[in-house]
């Protein structure tokens, strides 16, 4: 892996070459929050943001997309050309890159490769940037505050400059196109990088103990805590919608008047929604909210570990930020481990 450095004063010049690699999306401020969007001016881009409302997943696995059209004269026509348009994601935090790596294992390397996700992933340039954790980040506990793959370039703040890790040949192409903007770092630059990395890792306010968690989840499968969580859960699905690694979706056909032409639509779904496990005939395999809450966390911290060797949570803190009743990865793990008193005394949510 090649390592270079870029002076912050030259950042504007550096990013001017990015449109050659696709349409650029970057973190910009919207109200009191941040989103990945196309910046009107480079000055709109926020390099020191906390987290975006939705993860970059939204651009690789869109909330709603048409996968193919059907017509009696033309037959079935896929829309892969739309999914193959070049794109640049600039300013992605390490945990969100880790989230994309997890989606890669599901949609690229899994049993059923998804051609639309694969097309977007291959057409997307990823440029990462480091971050300072706040009181909701748990990426350090999830081993997701640093990545060594899944990006083309990664920028780490070392003061007046960025240390730039070149991860792919496409990243090297960007370096070449940037001319003399990127220079060879010194030993002092490396020392500053290591100092800042150590300080960032030690600055996490959230420290979660994952030791033996899959086994503890098995022991606590019938815990009353799940009923307590179920009483509070609003079944809004917000936690799933903002999660970088939730990938459930629903499929339906939208048919034009006359019933002969139409398109197939894929939309995000959530295991917290009552309709998620509803099947033909009216049977619902997870009718009550407690079973849905339990299923979500068992899949992330137990089932995913069994299949892929690590939890699917990256500690981004989005579920902590959006849940109105404090059901999130931190509260669940601490309750199941017996590190907090639980929530049995809290007022139940309305049915």
DSSP string, 140-161: TTTT-S--SSS-SEEEEE-SSE
- Cβ atoms < 10 Å from Cβ of 259: 7
Model confidence at 346: pLDDT above 50 = no
Are the C-beta atoms of residues 131 and 144 closer than 8 Å to each other? Answer: no
* 345 within some domain: no
* 304 within some domain: yes
Q: Quote the CA–CA distance of 281 and 284 in Å, as a whole number.
A: 9
134: tokens are 């706040």
What pLDDT shows up at residue 345? 33
Model confidence at 211: pLDDT above 50 = yes
| Rounded mean pLDDT, 312-318 | 95
Instruction: Tell me which residue of 64, 121, 58 sits closest to 87, measured CA to CA.
Output: 121
Whole-angstrom CA distances from 343 to 1, 36, 167, 231, 346 are 48, 35, 45, 9, 5
| Rounded mean pLDDT, 176-197 | 96
Q: Please, which residues have CB within 8 angstroms of residue 141's CB and are 6 or more apart in sequence?
A: 204, 206, 207, 208, 209, 210, 315
- Tell me: the pLDDT tens digits for 255-299? 998 888 999 999 999 999 999 988 888 898 898 999 999 999 999
| Rounded mean pLDDT, 298-325 | 91
| Rounded mean pLDDT, 16-29 | 97
* 328 within some domain: yes
* 342 within some domain: no
Q: Percentage helix, strand, coil, to 5, in the chain?
A: 40, 20, 40
Residue 277 burial (10 A CB sphere; 0-12, 13-18, 19+): middle
3 state SS of 135: coil
Question: Quick one: DSSP state of residue 278?
Answer: B
What pLDDT shows up at residue 278? 87
Model confidence at 349: pLDDT above 50 = no
- Tell me: the pLDDT tens digits for 52-87? 999 999 999 999 999 999 998 889 999 999 899 999
Q: Are residues 121 and 218 in the same domain?
A: no
Q: Are residues 308 and 251 in the same domain?
A: yes
Q: Are residues 174 and 228 in the same domain?
A: no
Give the pairing type, strands 124-129 and 87-92: parallel
* 348 within some domain: no
- Percent of the chain residues past pLDDT 70, beyond the cut: 97
Q: Are residues 235 and 188 in the same domain?
A: no
Q: Quote the CA–CA distance of 9 and 351 in Å, as a whole number.
A: 55
Compute the residue count for the chain: 351
Model confidence at 309: pLDDT above 90 = no
| Rounded mean pLDDT, 138-164 | 96
Are the C-beta atoms of residues 193 and 201 closer than 8 Å to each other? Answer: no
Q: Please, which residues have CB within 8 angstroms of residue 312's CB and are 6 or more apart in sequence?
A: 102, 245, 299, 300, 304
- Percent of the chain residues past pLDDT 90, beyond the cut: 81
Q: Quote the CA–CA distance of 338 and 72 in Å, as a whole number.
A: 60
Q: Are residues 22 and 164 in the same domain?
A: yes
Model confidence at 101: pLDDT above 50 = yes
Q: Are residues 71 and 154 in the same domain?
A: yes
Residue that has been written with the tokens 């299949």 in this structure: 307
What pLDDT shows up at residue 338? 87
Are the C-beta atoms of residues 35 and 28 closer than 8 Å to each other? Answer: yes
> Is residue 36 within a helix (H) or strand (E), and if so which, with residue range?
strand 33-37
What pLDDT shows up at residue 277? 87
Q: Are residues 143 and 197 in the same domain?
A: yes
Model confidence at 347: pLDDT above 80 = no
* 282 within some domain: yes
What pLDDT shows up at residue 341? 58
Residue 240 burial (10 A CB sphere; 0-12, 13-18, 19+): buried
What pLDDT shows up at residue 1? 79
What pLDDT shows up at residue 69? 93
Model confidence at 132: pLDDT above 90 = yes
How many domains are contained in the chain?
A: 2
End-to-end CA distance of the chain: 54
- Cβ atoms < 10 Å from Cβ of 205: 11
pLDDT bucket at 330, cuts 50 / 70 / 90: very high
* 344 within some domain: no
| Rounded mean pLDDT, 15-32 | 96
| Rounded mean pLDDT, 11-36 | 96
What pLDDT shows up at residue 151? 98
| Rounded mean pLDDT, 35-61 | 95
Q: Which of 202, 233, 249 is the last residue of a domain?
A: 202
Range of the domain at 183: 2-202
Are the C-beta atoms of residues 243 and 55 closer than 8 Å to each other? Answer: yes
Q: Are residues 152 and 267 in the same domain?
A: no
Q: Are residues 176 and 221 in the same domain?
A: no
Q: Which of 169, 202, 235 is the last residue of a domain?
A: 202
Q: Are residues 130 and 8 in the same domain?
A: yes
What pLDDT shows up at residue 258? 83
Q: Are residues 137 and 235 in the same domain?
A: no
Window from 5-9, 35-39, 304-308, 345-349 with minimum mean pLDDT: 345-349
- Tell me: the pLDDT tens digits for 224-263? 999 999 999 999 999 999 999 999 999 999 999 888 899 9
Model confidence at 350: pLDDT above 80 = no
Q: Are residues 9 and 118 in the same domain?
A: yes
* 341 within some domain: no
- Cβ atoms < 10 Å from Cβ of 148: 11
pLDDT bucket at 348, cuts 50 / 70 / 90: very low
Q: Which of 162, 178, 202 is the last residue of a domain?
A: 202
Q: Quote the CA–CA distance of 217 and 223 in Å, as a whole number.
A: 9
Model confidence at 344: pLDDT above 50 = no
Are the C-beta atoms of residues 317 and 131 closer than 8 Å to each other? Answer: no
């Amino acid at each position: 892996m090649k390592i270079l450095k870029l002076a912050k004063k030259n950042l504007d010049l550096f990013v001017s070459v990015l449109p050659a690699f696709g349409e650029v999306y970057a973190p910009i401020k919207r109200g009191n929050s941040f989103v990945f969007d196309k910046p009107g001016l480079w000055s709109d881009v926020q390099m020191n943001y906390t987290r975006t409302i939705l993860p970059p997943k939204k651009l690789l696995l869109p909330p709603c997309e048409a996968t193919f059209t059907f017509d009696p004269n033309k037959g079935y026509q896929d829309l892969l050309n739309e999914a193959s348009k070049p794109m640049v994601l600039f300013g992605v935090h390490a945990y969100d890159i880790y989230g994309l790596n997890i989606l890669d294992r599901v949609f690229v390397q899994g049993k059923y490769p998804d051609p639309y996700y694969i097309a977007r992933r291959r057409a997307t340039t990823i440029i990462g940037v480091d971050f300072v954790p706040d009181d909701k980040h748990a990426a350090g506990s999830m081993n997701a505050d640093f990545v060594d793959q899944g990006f083309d370039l990664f920028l780490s703040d070392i003061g007046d400059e960025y240390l730039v890790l070149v991860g792919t040949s496409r990243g090297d192409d960007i370096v070449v196109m940037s001319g003399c903007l990127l220079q060879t770092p010194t030993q002092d630059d490396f020392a500053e990088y290591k100092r800042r990395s150590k300080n960032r890792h030690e600055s996490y306010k959230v420290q979660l103990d994952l030791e033996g968690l899959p086994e503890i989840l098995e022991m606590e499968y019938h815990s009353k805590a799940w009923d307590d969580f179920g009483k509070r859960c609003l079944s809004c699905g917000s936690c799933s919608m903002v999660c970088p690694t939730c990938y459930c979706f629903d499929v339906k056909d939208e048919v034009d008047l006359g019933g002969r032409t139409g398109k197939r639509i894929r939309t995000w779904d959530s295991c917290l929604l009552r309709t998620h496990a509803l099947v033909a005939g009216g049977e619902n395999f997870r009718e009550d909210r407690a079973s849905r809450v339990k299923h979500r966390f068992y899949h992330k911290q137990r089932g995913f570990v069994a299949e892929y060797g690590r939890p699917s949570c990256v500690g981004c803190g989005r579920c902590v930020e959006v849940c109105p009743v404090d059901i999130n990865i931190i509260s669940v793990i601490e309750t199941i481990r017996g590190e907090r008193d639980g929530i049995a005394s809290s007022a139940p949510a309305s049915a």
